[in-house]
């Protein structure tokens, strides 16, 4: 079973991208955007973002790993 069959929301949003902005990443992992911002600020979340020009970007591979853990 591939990523698109197992996680269609992630496949649809992340098509051909390496990272997602906070709002889109939050939708994929079914969390509030502020939760992901808190993970980034406190460095306590299950995944960590990268910062691109001062903005948070969440790796699609990390989001996929998180979704697989939660399954």
For the chain, the structural domain boundaries read 3-70
Q: Six-digit token pair at 2?
A: 């591939």
* Per-residue pLDDT tens digits for 12-49: 888 889 999 999 999 999 999 999 999 999 999 999 99
Mean of pLDDT values over 58-68: 95
Q: How many C-beta neighbours within 10 Å does residue 32 have?
A: 12
Q: Reduced to 3 states, what is the DSSP secondary structure of residue 23?
A: helix
User: Alpha-carbon distance 55 to 57, whole Å?
Assistant: 7
Pick the CATH number of 3-70 from 1.10.1660, 1.10.10, 3.40.50, 1.10.3470: 1.10.1660
- Nearest of 52, 42, 67 to residue 22 by alpha carbon: 52
């Amino acid at each position: 079973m591939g990523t698109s069959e197992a996680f269609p929301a992630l496949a649809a949003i992340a098509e051909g991208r390496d990272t997602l902005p906070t709002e889109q990443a939050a939708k994929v992992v079914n969390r509030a955007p502020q939760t992901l911002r808190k993970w980034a600020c406190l460095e306590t979340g299950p995944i960590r973002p990268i910062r691109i020009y001062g903005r948070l970007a969440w790796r699609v591979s990390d989001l996929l790993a998180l979704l697989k853990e939660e399954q």
